[in-house]
Amino acid sequence: MSQYVSRLGRRSQAAPPRLRIPGSQRRPRRVAMLSVHTSPLHQPGTGDAGGMNVYIVELAKRLAAINIEVEIFTRATTGGLDPTVELAPGVLVRHVDAGPYEGLAKEELPAQLCAFTHGVMQAWAGHRPGYYDLVHSHYWLSGHVGWLAAERWGVPLVHAMHTMAKVKNAALAAGDTPEPAARVIGETQIVRAADRLVANTAEEADELVRHYEAEPGKVAVVHPGVNLERFRPADGRAAARHRLGLPQNALVPLFAGRIQPLKAPDLLLRAVAVLLDERPALRSNIVVPIVGGPSGSGLAKPEGLQKLAAKLGIADVVRFQPPVGQEQLADWFRAASVLVMPSYSESFGLVAIEAQAAGTPVLAAAVGGLPVAVRDEVTGFLVPGHEPALYARVLRDFADHPQLVDRMGAAATAHAQSFGWDTAASATADVYTAAMHDFRTARRHVRSHHG
């Protein structure tokens, strides 16, 4: 967390929360959270649902627990949904009709932002003035709605990018589709309009300044959290393997996430093929689970990974699993020898923290936030670049030294403890407080000049 936010946290704790003295620093009572393209009610690993869904759900619940009510506006993707659903005490999900329910790709959503904004404004019109204290938008599509809503309501806008077009385009997987210029322009506008930008890591904060000319004073670093009650070693690796029908002594390198070129699940398959070429005897003692569904540009070739496994001659050791709920995902993490994350770009890599919290080391590409999420050579290994042979070498180390799994797994569990959601929610609340204070100060300054 930035020094700025931690200093502010100490100052804000000094004042009683109910004070309404002009200029006093108070937390918001109610936040409008915007997630246009993916609903917090969707299962991660399906369609466009992923780490951002988990982030929004967990953050909203923990904010509600510290008396900040959250209303999450999201696009209705099926007919007949209740207009509002209580996700948890103090957390309401509002379904907004914008465009056809089914078959609308994320790339087609910019055309529906006007309809979505209309739905948000309709909900607001039914409330008294000042109902929402602040808007927190997630991803650039929501940022555009948030920009307009915050201006209309006279409240500050806090925005979280989650991923950035310029960063993704600088590290594309071979054959992947670049992000369109319209997104780059949209992100640049939001960076300029937001009162605060929340970055997952110091590197993401630097990227906002470097690629989008964000004002450094507007950027706050808040690490995402992990649900430590759900993701924990529980009854251990042996029991999890028994439940999932996995052999007890096998090497189990796991991929869990959306199946698309950006996440590079193909690299795990290529690394396993290299490993089995070198060590044919390992074939009878390795299982490679791929847990997740096609997403994004991966939808163009939904069977691509299965075909690749067959072409590489390793189809017999690969086990494809559709996306699973969070409880079962935790079991897959516990059962694995190592989670493999060879992504080309990753703003944080929440899955890496979840796996470590469950007691499993991580083998990841040294990109984005993964060097923050994984302690190299302590809780896992970070690999520079995307050469299958480099990943194969680490997998061989795990095969040759099975004790590595337990030793690194124990360190991984300890490392993950510092990433609880309560910490993230408290830091986010401090960002809100700072945004509200600066926003009110700026408005008073404008009024005094025009008075």
Residue 67 is labelled as binding a ligand: no
Residue 183 is labelled as binding a ligand: yes
Residue 393 is labelled as binding a ligand: no
Residue 40 is labelled as binding a ligand: no
Residue 61 is labelled as binding a ligand: no
On the CB side of 211, CA atoms within 13 Å amount to: 19
Distance (Å, whole) CA 351 – CA 256: 8
Distance (Å, whole) CA 258 – CA 270: 18
Note whether 198 and 431 are within 8 A (CB). Answer: yes
Distance (Å, whole) CA 341 – CA 247: 22
Residue 51 is labelled as binding a ligand: yes
The phi, psi pair for 334, rounded to 5°, reads: -60, -35
Note whether 4 and 217 are within 8 A (CB). Answer: yes
Residue 354 is labelled as binding a ligand: yes
Residue 408 is labelled as binding a ligand: no
Question: 93 - beta bridge partners?
Answer: 72, 85
Residue 88 is labelled as binding a ligand: no
Residue 49 is labelled as binding a ligand: yes
Residue 203 is labelled as binding a ligand: no
SS3 content of the chain, % helix, strand, coil (to 5): 50, 15, 35
> How many H helices and E strands in the chain?
16, 14
Residue 360 is labelled as binding a ligand: yes
Note whether 132 and 31 are within 8 A (CB). Answer: yes
Residue 11 is labelled as binding a ligand: no
DSSP letter for 313, please: T
At position 364, the amino acid (one-letter code) is: A
Residue 249 is labelled as binding a ligand: no
Q: Where do we find the tokens 């925005």?
A: 159
Residue 319 is labelled as binding a ligand: no
Residue 263 is labelled as binding a ligand: yes
The side-by-side arrangement of strands in the sheet containing 84-88 is 84-88, 91-96, 69-75, 30-35, 134-138, 157-160, 196-199, 219-221
Residue 125 is labelled as binding a ligand: no
Distance (Å, whole) CA 195 – CA 213: 14
Residue 288 is labelled as binding a ligand: no
DSSP letter for 226, please: B
DSSP letter for 172, please: P
Residue 23 is labelled as binding a ligand: no
Residue 48 is labelled as binding a ligand: yes
Binding-site residues for Mg(2+), in ranges, read: 333-334, 336, 360
Binding-site residues for 1D-myo-inositol 3-phosphate, in ranges, read: 37, 48-53, 106, 139, 163, 183
Binding-site residues for UDP-N-acetyl-alpha-D-glucosamine, in ranges, read: 43-44, 51, 258, 263, 324, 346, 354
Binding-site residues, in ranges, read: 37, 43-44, 48-53, 106, 139, 163, 183, 258, 263, 324, 333-334, 336, 346, 354, 360
